[in-house]
Each structure stands twice: as structure tokens, then as C-alpha cells.
Chain A
Amino acid sequence: MSTIISNRRVAKGIYVMHAEGRFEAKRGQFFMVRGWEGYPLLARPLSVYDQDEYGVKFLYKVAGEGTQMLSRMSAGDSVTLLGPLGSGFPEARGRTALVGGGIGIAPLFYAAKHMEQADLYLGFSEEVYEEQEFRSLGHRLEIDCGGIVLDRVNFDDYDTIFVCGPEPMLRAAQMKSVMSSGRAAVYVSLENRMACGIGACLVCSVGCENGRKKACSDGPVFRAEEVVLA
């Protein structure tokens, strides 16, 4: 059990929860989070947005009943956390770009926090959120609202590109990667539905060039050319 330090709304349907605990999450990892007893049955996989000496932060979007319940919790309430889970982002080499779409920006903050150089590209459909936080990292930052953030990224300018966002965006990133010179190693972080979160149940399984892999424990970050997105 972890105690909620704060849980604040930062935009319409978007919240940041800070939950207590000493964790050693690596960038791109996630936790299975639940703030209720029996129902909904499954915990929700949430990326690590940030981590400090007090605990772990999650930037999350209200998408269904579970996240709705999380959004209604307050400081002092308890959540159950299983994690950190997943392999996370690999070590970035050379010039690096982090590209996030919507709530897919969540894992990029902590990923960029400890990088010497990272160009951040954040895309939003309607409302921009957490801009000041991202700006405070001191990296180059481009924000797109209502357009296609990937269009702003020249893949040939980079050696490493991390992309996290909705599946159409990940497919577009795969396509861009294929069309590029191949300089950049492109990685995508998936948001598959999960049940166990640790690699036992196979409901998050994803087709890869060498057979199936588990989004939760083999990923959620994969090389863009390795995964088959439906």
C-alpha cells in the first residue's frame, strides 16, 4: 500500500498523482496501480512520469472506470502499486529526440530528466498540459496542438528517437523510420491492455519479428521495426 501525497487535475480529464514510496524505477517503466478493492477487477498500468525522494508520480488520463476512480482519490488515500515493471527505455546514444502524443508524453518527462541532450516534441489534440514542467528540464521543446507532432521531427537529425503515443502515431513513426536514412534507432512504447503486468497471462502479447513478445515484461518499449502493430 502506498499513500497518496497529492492527486491534482492539470487539464480536462488529465491528472498527476504523487504516491509515496522508495522506488528505483528506470525511465520508461510502469506500475500496476489500483485504488479500490474488488471492482474494477484489473489494476491499471501507468507509466512513471517522475520520481523523487518522496515517491513516484503518474501523469494519467481518465479513460474508463478505473482511472475515473483514481482521479477521485485524495492526499492521504491509499493505492496499491506493483512495480516498477517492464524493461523501459534503453540507453540513448547520440542526438536524441523524445516524441510524445497526448498522454503518451507521460514516460518522456522522467526519461528526459537525466539526459544531457534531448529534444522534446509533445503533441496534444486540444489542450496543452504540463508545459512548464517539461520546459523546466531545460531541453529544446516543441509543442504541437491540433496538428501532427511527428511531422515536426526530422528523423535523419537524430541517432535515437523514443516515441510514445496512440497506436496510429506509433504506426506513423514506423513508417517514417522506414522512409528515413536509417540513422536513427527508433523505439516505440506501447500502451497495450494488461492484466497481470508481469508476463504471466499473455493478454498484452504483441507480434514481433521473432515471434510474440509480452508488452509488459519484454517491453513496453520495442524497436520500431521489430513490432507488428495491428
Chain B
Amino acid sequence: MTHTTDSTRTNLDTVCSVAGVSFKNPVVMASGTFGFGREYGRLYDVSRLGGISGKGVTLLPRPGNAGIRVYETPSGMLNSVGLENPGIRAFLEEECADWEKLDTVRIVNLGGGTVRDYAEGARMIDEDAQARAASGRKAVDMIELNISCPNVKEGGMAYGVKTCIAREVVREVRAATKLPLMVKLSPNAEDIADMAAMCEEEGAEAVSLINTLSGMKIDARRRRSVFENLYAGLSGPAIKPIALRMVHQVCKRVNIPVIGMGGVSGAEDLIEFIMAGAEAVQVGTYNFVNWQAGPDLVDGVERFMREEGIRSLSEIRGIL
């Protein structure tokens, strides 16, 4: 399926820039909802997108969580996939050849168990990028650091809750790579604006937010949690107001670009995040609602701009 790009006809400026990386438009697919782009790539041309953030990868392969992994809630869904992924080596060897050919910003989402895992993972990605660069190739434009992984040392609490604990991860990963670094923040953080400020201090070039909100579903008849992992991550339209507020707060606090996300289900939702100050916007759960979410949002943003007489997104970015 192919679409024409209206922006070339009408001279709309939808370009976004994060850490020196240029996105052709603000529509970026969120990690965990888009695989590595291959599946949706069979349904439409993913080069229409501003970027994609791949399925989160960890140093070693992970089987993910057992039991039910998804449960719908009013205007949302809980997921408990548990970072199932093939590991960084398999990602670099099996997916990156395809990523080299993609004409969209390619973001590798990095998870980890220990600080060492994170740093080692970042180093592997960095070394791979250097090796490809030596032969004029490129597969990864940016690292998105997922600090919502459970910290085994701290009793399983996510790294992204306490700023002082997250700082160690950001610092070590920053030291391990020269690739542009974006840190994906959790709404479960004690203070998400503090967390963002810490990322800026530690040298991250951008932050993205929000990851899923920790939630729960009990099967009342069976008197137990639906999820084997007890809690699960809430996403979808239900979380959008919270996400928007947090993006606004973070944009007021830091000077690095912010990629906003949380419950975007249409072009106007996406525009709201830009107005709250986001440079670009990620889209996750909406892919499951509308498999053409990507092209529909790209078209929708351009339509909105034409209807509102907006030539460049910079005219409306952070106006609140």
C-alpha cells in the first residue's frame, strides 16, 4: 500500500530534530507495539513514518512472562509481555540488515537487568554501529534507554522510580556509547520532571515519555490476578491526559527535546503533545486499533496543519 506525501506539495514543514537526527515527521512508532517494523512493513511503507522504536532488546534473550499477557480495560489495555526479545546479538545480526534499508529514523530500545547489562548492551550496539559506519552503512540512529526494567538488586522495583538509582544506569550507558541517547521515562517515577532533569545532567540528548502506568486486574471469580506477574502496564487512550500533563511538566523543566507518548489515537491527540512541548510523538497501542495508524496519523497531521493554516510545527510547539 502506498500513499502520496502531501507535505511535498504544500510545503508543510513537519520535520523534527532530536539529538541532531532529523525525523521527516513527528510520527514515531513506540517500542513493543511495532516489532522491528517488518510485520507492519508488509501492510504499508514504513518509510512514511518519522521513525520507529524497535521492540526492547536486552543483553541476553528473554522469554518474557508466562500466562495471559493482555487484558482490555475501559479505553485501554494492560500488557505483561515481560520484555520477550531475541537478545542484542540476534537483533544486530538478524534485524539490522533490514534496518539499514529503512528510510526512517531507527531507534533501538535498550532494556537491562543490572547496570552492567545495560552498559554492556549499549557497548555492543555502539561497536556494531562503528563497524557498519566503517563500511559506510548505518542501521541504528539512536538508542532509547528503557529504565522501566525491574532492578533485581532493589527487590524488583523498576530503575525508573527513583532518580538516584536511574542516574547510575544513565551515566553508565552514556559512557558506553557515542550514539545519540534518549531515555524513556516511566510515569511511575517519584518525580518525572526530576528524572528528566537528571537525564539532561548526565548527558542524554533527549527523553521520551511516558512508558505504561503500572496497573492491575483481578479476576474476582477466581480470586486472583489475571497476570502471573501480578501487575501489568496500562496503555491506550485512558492514559493520555496523564501523559500529556507529564510531557508538559517535563518540557517546562528541561532544555533537551522531549518525545511525548501515551494514548495517541488520532492526529489531534498527537498535535496536543506538540503543543505541550514535544518535539515528536510516539504511537503504540493505537497500532492495534488501526493497523494503518502510521500513514493515517501522518496524513492527519498534515490535514490539521492545512486546516489551521500552520506551515511549520514549530509555530505550535510548546505554546502552552
Contacts and interface: CB of A to CB of B under 8 A. Distances in A.
Interface of A: 32, 38-43, 82, 193-196, 198-205, 207, 211-212, 217, 230
Given A202-B69, A203-B81, 17 more contacts: A38-B75, A41-B72, A41-B236, A41-B289, A196-B39, A196-B287, A196-B288, A198-B40, A199-B35, A200-B287, A201-B81, A202-B81, A204-B69, A204-B70, A205-B84, A207-B63, A230-B67
A221 B236 CA distance: 30
A193 B74 contact: no
Contacts of B55: 202
A188 to B, nearest CB: 18
B237 interface: yes
Nearest 6 CB-CB pairings of A with B: A200-B35, A203-B70, A203-B69, A200-B39, A195-B288, A198-B39
20 contacts: A38-B289, A39-B75, A40-B72, A41-B75, A41-B237, A42-B77, A43-B288, A195-B79, A196-B33, A198-B39, A198-B40, A199-B39, A200-B34, A201-B288, A202-B55, A205-B81, A207-B63, A207-B66, A212-B84, A230-B67
Contacts of A202: 32, 55, 64, 69, 81, 84
A195 B67 contact: no
B285 interface: yes
B77 A41 contact: yes
A68 to B, nearest CB: 13
A212 B63 contact: yes
Contacts of A193: 68-71
The CB with the most chain B CB atoms within 10 A, among A38, A41, A212, is that of A41
B187 to A, nearest CB: 19
Contacts of B67: 230
A41 B64 contact: no
Given A200-B287, A202-B64, A212-B64, A217 B79 contact: no
B289 A82 contact: no
Nearest to A40: B72
Nearest to B84: A202
B33 A201 contact: yes
A203 B64 CA distance: 10
B228 to A, nearest CB: 9
The CB with the most chain B CB atoms within 10 A, among A42, A43, A195, A230, is that of A195
Contacts of B287: 196, 200-201
Contacts of B237: 38, 41
B76 interface: yes
B238 to A, nearest CB: 9
A217 B42 CA distance: 13
